[in-house]
Structure 1
């Protein structure tokens, strides 16, 4: 998995980038759910930017051992939604979208640095900032794409589940446990090199190109 591609010398940057990514991802889920009338996450202390409230110790450690992991899922009670399917989709989309926004902001700052700001800084400081921003952008794009994969328990699956007609949704629920098993088999075996890594690699390249096109008018 992509998280394993970073060497130990970059580990501090990866840790900070993941803390930011996981925290804002889960906060986004909680915030959108709260805005649609579900106070569950807020009542459990999850409507916060405090990383301690969102990080799962085992899921975080597993990232560095197996190449993938997770934060603590935000609890959502669809009973509070007036339009459960619409709210469910927007709550699910909010997490990956937050990672895309973080990646874009990081990419914007990389362009600002490259426009001449880095030359006004001490060399070592500019080097550290550049490394961190590159990792922040890369990891958040990966998390954006990874979470949109159509496997339970990822956000992509939840989006499909909410968009699907009622009879298909019932079938999805019936076979969800098998889907989770298949997902873990893929990510924990060499199958991920053929089924997931190409999607993340090409998706990351396409996303970076998209960012370039957006910022091109502002940076020569």
Structure 2
């Protein structure tokens, strides 16, 4: 897809899936926390689908835009939804499920974008002006959500995978991850930039499964 579009067209195609992916990812965290007894995100208006309530200028706009323009591994982040650990009914277990809700929402969205891509593909010959953009945006939606979903499952603080792991390991491991959180983003960027952490085989594998599901 990137070979067919110039930088401006690529950003236009990527912007809606990326904003939706990051917004619903955070809403999923807040909604799950609310279901488990913590209304903090709800009381602060963070269960809204309005992207402006979730956008982080650097993590939602600058970083993904630059990575898309230079053809890198696309990732980003929004303002974290507040979760009050002590208000969850079963804090340790519930926090792991709250964390899983984010990547889970990305998987659901990837499937939804797969359906949009399929519809766009069907319209290409009869209504190219609509079908082609739908196809390209659908594929972009699959790519963005698979990347964000896989990335967030890594057990590196502050990613969701670290909170899931803390929910199943003894408390001392959870505390150790909490202490690492301030350095986690730096560690993640270094691992990705150096090529030590190569997620593309897994990302491509999940992407292939979704495309096969809709286009086989």
1:115-148, Cα deviation, whole Å (9 max, x unpaired): x443332x22211111111111111111111111
Q: TM-score, normalised by structure 2?
A: 0.84
Q: Which moved more, 1:201-210 or 1:86-95?
A: 201-210
Backbone CA RMSD of aligned residues: 2.4
Give the structure 1 partner of residue 196 of structure 2.
194
Q: Which moved more, 1:24-33 or 1:163-172?
A: 163-172
Q: Shift of the alpha carbon at 1:207?
A: 1.2
Give unmatched runs, 5+ long, in structure 2: 68-73
Give the structure 2 partner of residue 203 of structure 1.
202
Q: Shift of the alpha carbon at 1:205?
A: 2.2
Are positions 1:185 and 2:190 aligned together? yes
Give the structure 1 partner of residue 65 of structure 2.
64
What is the CA–CA distance in structure 1 between the aligned matches of 2:6 and 2:151, rounded to whole Å?
17
Change (3 A) 1:14 1:74: same
Q: Shift of the alpha carbon at 1:12?
A: 0.9
Give the structure 1 partner of residue 34 of structure 2.
34
Q: Shift of the alpha carbon at 1:163?
A: 1.5
Q: Shift of the alpha carbon at 1:14?
A: 1.2
1:74-130, Cα deviation, whole Å (9 max, x unpaired): 00001111111221011101111111111111112323444x443332x22211111
Of residues 104, 107, 115, the one that matches 1:108 is 115
Q: TM-score, normalised by structure 1?
A: 0.83
Of residues 101, 108, 115, the one that matches 1:94 is 101
**Number of equivalenced pairs:** 206
Give the structure 2 partner of residue 142 of structure 1.
147
Of residues 118, 125, 149, the one that matches 1:119 is 125
Change (3 A) 1:50 1:73: same
Are positions 1:21 and 2:27 aligned together? no
Q: Shift of the alpha carbon at 1:13?
A: 1.2
Are positions 1:11 and 2:11 aligned together? yes
- Runs (4 or more) in structure 1 with deviation over 6 Å come to none
